Amino acid sequence: MAEISGYHAHVYYDADEKPRAETLRAAIEARFDVALGRWHDKPIGPHPRGSYQIAFGPELLAALLPWLMLNRDGLVIFLHALTGDDLADHRDYALWLGPSEEIDLSVLQ
């Protein structure tokens, strides 16, 4: 059985959504002890469009996940576990807040 060492949440945005993504990021930074990744205005890795990453430990999931559910302001968020198996993490141990989008799993194989 896999063990979860942490989580990544990827906040997706495009040009017209970026101001909302900025507001969400500032609110997350003010409320939670997380590591916020760089802004990527274009697709990177398996992600289909612009995004930034929120990295956090398992102890924050119970607080951060419901907060994101209620405060994502219509943004799509892709959240996955970190188990050491990148493919399974993105394919099998993931959830979506908002409509799911197709990620490129081929870059993880």
Kindly report the pTM of this predicted structure: 0.96
Instruction: Encode pLDDT of 69-85 as tens digits.
Output: 999 999 999 999 999 99
Domain count, the chain: 1
What is the per-residue DSSP string for the chain?
-----EEEEEEE--TTTHHHHHHHHHHHHHH---EE---BSS--TT-SS-EEEEEE-GGGHHHHHHHHHHHSTT--EEEEEESS-HHHHHHTSEEEESS-----GGGG-
Specify the pLDDT at position 109.
Answer: 86
Q: Which residues contact 67 (CB under 8 A, 6 or more apart)?
A: 31, 32
Instruction: Encode pLDDT of 47-77 as tens digits.
Output: 999 999 999 999 999 999 999 999 999 999 9
Instruction: Please name every residue paired with 94 in a beta bridge, in sequence order, or none if there are none.
Output: 80
Does residue 73 fall inside a structural domain? Answer: yes
Does residue 90 fall inside a structural domain? Answer: no
User: 14 and 40 in contact (C-beta within 8 Å)?
Assistant: no
Does residue 13 fall inside a structural domain? Answer: yes
Phi, psi (5° rounding) for residue 17?
-95, -10
Range of the domain at 20: 6-82
- Which CATH number do you get for residue 13? 3.30.70.1240
Instruction: Encode pLDDT of 6-26 as tens digits.
Output: 999 999 999 999 999 999 999
Does residue 96 fall inside a structural domain? Answer: no
Does residue 52 fall inside a structural domain? Answer: yes
